[in-house]
Amino acid sequence: MATKKGAYETTASDTDFRRKYDRDEYAKQAKEREAKEKEEGRLRYEAKLAGKKYYAPLTGEETLTQARASRLDVSSNIGKVMLMPAGAATGKRGRGAGFYCAHCDLTFKDNLQWVEHENSMQHLRAIGQTGEVKRATAEEVRARIDRVWERLQEEKKGDVKTLGERLEVRREEEEKEREERRQKRREQMEKRRMEKEQEIKIKTEYGEDVRIEGEHDEDDMMASMGITGFGSSKK
């Protein structure tokens, strides 16, 4: 009598192909999660009694708070239609219509609340920052001011519209290029002057017979070609 096989080439009564769950492991994870939630609830309650706001405790892996590298975009979705998931949040908790923070799972109905949240300790802790700022040195402050100034100037150039403004920007760029060329020439002249002073100093100390590197290269090349000099055609 032939044995009836199932869709997975096994006997109908064989269920070894099914996924198995480690109940002890899941029970352990559920117990740990319950203990964590209970501890968080206790800390929240104690903070409320003390008149303070609760923040998640530090784990030691957080970094110092740094300045935002880019501006917050609050206008990119103006005039656009977005489909919200079923059961979207009507309050702040969860994803809903408005400005959504994925790190904190919160939705804000206006941009002011969202910006304030982005700068809050709650959000900083959620993204792994301590909320403390490193004290900058004078050199770092100057470097940052220079970067901000250059960025503002680039943005200003990008906003130029009229012909007069374009000509003014071009004139400033040309003046900057000329100044860079003048500075380069001054550096080259200063370098040659220093070399000349060094050459005079050496000859003063050691006499005229001393050979300075590169001084007679042209004469040596002419001598190797059999040219001893150029005589005058005048008698």
d(Cα 188, Cα 183) in Å, to the nearest integer?
9
d(Cα 79, Cα 36) in Å, to the nearest integer?
43
Structure tokens at 189: 């002249």
d(Cα 160, Cα 157) in Å, to the nearest integer?
5
Place of tokens 């005229």: 208
Predicted pLDDT at 105: 83
pTM over 0.75: no
- Say if residues 157 and 167 touch (Cβ distance below 8 Å): no
47-85 core/surface letters (b: 16 or more CB in 10 A; e: else): eeeeeeeebeeeeeeeeebeeeeeeeeeeeeeeeeeeee
Predicted pLDDT at 144: 86
Predicted pLDDT at 219: 61
| Extents of the domains making up the chain | 21-54, 62-68+83-134, 135-202
Predicted pLDDT at 140: 85
d(Cα 202, Cα 211) in Å, to the nearest integer?
10
- Please enumerate in sequence order all residues whose Cβ is within 8 A of that of 64, keeping only pairs 6 or more positions apart, or say none: 129, 130, 132, 133, 134
d(Cα 88, Cα 109) in Å, to the nearest integer?
14
Q: Which stretches in the chain have pLDDT values below 70?
A: 1-17, 69, 85-91, 157-163, 206-235
64: left (phi over 0), alpha (psi -120 to 50) or beta: beta
Predicted pLDDT at 108: 85
Predicted pLDDT at 135: 80
Q: How many CA atoms lie within 13 A of 12 on its CB side?
A: 3
